[in-house]
């Protein structure tokens, strides 16, 4: 085998090892990087080939350099345009490199991968008013803070340490009550 051919083969193998090493090393520089792996920067999840929008962003920052690249600025960008910043997708919204526990990790380079937003079920509670002799008993369920006002238009003030059932006197001046931010009276 001609010596020149051997040198070329060695150079190709060296370049390949270098590329793979560089990728895995960059994954470790991303918050929750191992959760997404190569797919955050590469279209193919196994790495190599065309890069994602996020991969292009990273490349534009570091190129071939091995310097750290995760930053507040990169976290604030929405590289794939799915409405969630790179930081939100990787569980580090402020880009300080500290991941928020319990966050959903999605791919910042794939617009089809984004955190699932769950809207909490609206809870309603009813304020029940009972008369017991000279006592007025206020009963409500599902939590919420009892608030009091001299007018149904407010301003509303919290009734300190009030819990259901709450007792007041019918001889008290006319007052209006509500629970939380709801309506009542």
Residue with tokens 């918050």: 31
Strand partners, 138: 129, 166
CB of 88 or CB of 136, closer to Ca ion: 88
- By C-beta, is 89 or 147 nearer to Ca ion? 89
- Whether the CA torsion 156, 158, 163, 165 is positive or negative: it is negative
Distance CA 110, CA 106 (A): 8
87 membership: H or E segment, kind and range: helix 86-89
With tokens 């009734």, the residue in question is 159
Query: Judged by CB, which is closer to Ca ion: 90, or 162?
Result: 90
**Residues 61-90: x/- map of binding to Ca ion (CB under 5 A)?**
-----------------x-x-x-x----x-
Smallest separation, CB 98 to Ca ion (Å): 20
The reply on whether position 114 binds Ca ion by CB under 5 A is: yes
Q: Which letter does DSSP use for residue 84 in this model? A: S
Nearer to Ca ion (CB atom), residue 57 or residue 147: 57
Point out which residues bind Ca ion (CB under 5 A).
78, 80, 82, 84, 89, 107, 113-114
């Amino acid at each position: 085998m001609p010596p020149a051919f051997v040198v070329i083969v060695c150079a190709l193998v060296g370049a390949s090892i270098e590329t793979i090493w560089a990728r895995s090393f960059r994954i470790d520089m991303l918050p929750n990087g191992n959760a997404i792996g190569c797919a955050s920067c590469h279209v193919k999840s196994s790495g190599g080939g065309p890069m994602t929008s996020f991969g292009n962003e990273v490349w534009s920052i570091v190129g071939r350099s091995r310097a750290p690249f995760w930053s507040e600025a990169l976290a604030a960008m929405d590289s794939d345009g799915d409405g969630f910043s790179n930081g939100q997708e990787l569980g580090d919204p402020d880009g300080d490199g500290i991941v928020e526990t319990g966050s959903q990790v999605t791919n910042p380079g794939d617009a089809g991968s984004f955190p699932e937003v769950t809207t909490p079920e609206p809870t309603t509670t009813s304020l029940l008013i009972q008369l017991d002799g000279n006592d007025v008993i206020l009963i409500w369920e599902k939590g919420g803070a009892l608030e009091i006002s001299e007018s149904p238009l407010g301003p509303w003030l919290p009734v300190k340490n009030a819990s259901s059932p709450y007792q007041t006197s019918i001889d008290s001046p006319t007052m209006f009550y509500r629970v939380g931010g709801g309506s009542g009276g």
